[in-house]
Chains A and B, each alone.
Chain A
Amino acid sequence: MSLELTRKLAPAEMTRRVIEAPNEAALLVACQKGDSQAFRVLFDSHKDRVYSLALYLSRDEAIANDITQQTFATMLLKTSEFRGEAKLSTWLYRLVFNLCADERRRQRRWLPLAAARRKESMSGNAPQEKRFARSEVALAVMRAIESLKPKLRAAVVLKYLDDLSYQEISEVLGCSIGTVASRLNRGHKLLARKLGYLRASLEGDE
């Protein structure tokens, strides 16, 4: 299923804000005890970023749905593994990244045809947002990012979805900070080349 881009994109200023509850560890414990209000707070705080990351990594809406669900289920099951040293969001991203990697491996082994089909652009449908210059840039960025190789894409999405530091990205991806720097370097260059034609529109926007 391809992503319907008629869906409203979240405003940029809202998307950048990390809503980190100060007592997330306590909320997690409450969730384990069956407190549905605590779960609602945690889920609503993180669902969009978790879903976005899963969608950017998998490029498939159905898989992103499944992975979001699995991520929160794993969060509840493995609460004891979260020691509060890192942000909860960073830990969730790590879960998403691992689940996506598992899914990719599974597809490679069993579903080569389906995987090939999924390579079709997730933003392939003509977007109505083209009417707005700002959205046009955003949609072009989405397309350019989905065309990046998975390793570069993961680093770029983590950086710009939640403004993670290189250290945090390295923890999520399980690689060194130098590797993160290198992947972002290549990602930035590729984006500049792929989107060069939009530079005027971007400058006008800013």
Chain B
Amino acid sequence: MFHRHASKYLSAFTQGELPSSQASSVAAHLRGCERCQKELDEIESGISFAKHLPMIPAPSSLSSEMHALFQSGNLTAPASSRRRVFRKARWLAMPLAAAIAAVLAGVVWYQKVREPISIEAAPRQVTKLEALALDLHLQQRQGLQQVDFSPEDPETISEWALQSTGLEVHWARQPAGDEHKYKLEGAKILTTSPGPILVVFFRVDQIPVTLTTADVRALAKGEAPSKGILRKKILYRFDSSSSTNLLSWTRDDQTYVFASDLPNLGRGACFVCHTNARRRELIGNAKLER
């Protein structure tokens, strides 16, 4: 009956509003769940306070006024203010209908984009930053990558990157049990005339992943991915010449590219940042097909 806890049934349980079968389930759950027992205590306390809610007698003047109005035959309700509102709002009907149509169109569109998106191979039709990520990724595959910084503690990478380049990379502390799935191999900074490019090499389940990132304002026009947004502002591409998945996105004026051979379009790389279990599940279950 419960996914985890009986929280939302506790008031109904206490006040005898649950069918007996559900009440038995809640009672059985409560016997073994300390958290729900605590919540039950809290709810019972709230109920005991609420029972002191006082009724406030109507003013005596209201009674005499009402009886006088009744006897005089003048006790009639004013026209429903709700109807008046609708009458006044008739001129709003057309814009309202248009807005509803727009919302419906949006829903239809959303349903459409929820369908699996087919990612076609786009050999070398990539931006310069993506091309750089591909080249560096090939080096990483062959174990030829060169790094400037290889911290033991992955969390220091964010601070180092920010201080050295002003670029942000986020390497979150991994949930228990996942720590060993993500191994940082090192990072380096490429100095280019428009601005620095940060490269981070790491592995997910032993599979190499290359991250390149740069300030979108520092890249010449056309270097940052600017079209082909397929799903939630993330551009998914597959480079057939190198059998590599590319994930590109831009956030807060910074462009990122993941190049990897990970399955599932390389979305496992996203989990270095997204550590929330629910978020991971959503990313993993998103309907995308190569």
A residues lining the B interface (CB < 8 Å): 3, 7-10, 12, 14-15, 31, 34, 36, 39-40, 43-44, 47-52, 55, 65, 68-70, 72-74, 76-77, 98-99, 101-103, 105-106, 109, 134, 137-139, 141-142, 144-145, 156-157, 159-161, 165-166, 177, 181-182, 184-185, 187-193, 195-196, 198-199, 202, 206
Contacts and interface: CB of A to CB of B under 8 A. Distances in A.
Given A76-B75, A188-B47, A8 B81 contact: no
Given A36-B70, A106-B81, A184-B11, A9 B17 contact: no
17 contacts: A15-B54, A43-B63, A70-B77, A70-B78, A76-B76, A77-B76, A102-B82, A105-B81, A109-B85, A138-B53, A156-B53, A165-B17, A184-B11, A184-B15, A185-B7, A185-B11, A188-B11
B11 A181 contact: yes
Contact of A187 (B46, B76, B81): B46
4 nearest A-B residue pairs (beta carbon) = A188-B46, A15-B55, A51-B58, A73-B77
Contact of B49 (A8, A47, A98, A144): A144
A142 B62 contact: no
Contacts of B57: 7-10, 48, 51-52
A74 B108 CA distance: 43
Nearest to A193: B42
A72 B67 CA distance: 11
B176 interface: no
Contacts of B51: 12, 160
A12 B39 CA distance: 27
B53 A74 contact: no
B111 to A, nearest CB: 26
Interface string B60-82: 00110111011101011110111
B52 A12 contact: yes
Interface of B: 7-12, 15, 17, 39, 42-43, 45-59, 62-63, 65-67, 69-71, 73, 75-78, 80-82, 85
Contacts of A52: 55-57
Given A36-B67, A43-B67, A190 B54 contact: no
Chain B contact surface mostly: helix
B10 to A, nearest CB: 6
A106 B66 CA distance: 24
A156 B52 contact: no
Contact of B82 (A7, A98, A142): A98
Given A39-B70, A106-B81, A161 B55 contact: yes
Contact of B62 (A10, A68, A190): A68
Contacts of B66: 43, 47, 69, 72
Given A102-B82, A185-B10, A188-B47, A142 B42 contact: no
B53 A157 contact: yes
Given A52-B55, A69-B62, A72-B66, A190 B46 contact: yes
Nearest to A122: B56
B246 to A, nearest CB: 45
A98 B82 CA distance: 9
Contacts of B12: 166, 181, 184-185
A74 B75 CA distance: 9
A50 B42 CA distance: 30
Contact of A10 (B54, B71, B73, B81): B54
A180 B223 CA distance: 55
B53 A160 contact: yes
Contacts of A184: 11-12, 15
A95 B65 CA distance: 20
A189 B46 contact: yes
Contacts of A7: 56-57
A181 B75 CA distance: 37
A2 to B, nearest CB: 13
B77 A47 contact: no
B10 A102 contact: no
Contacts of B10: 185
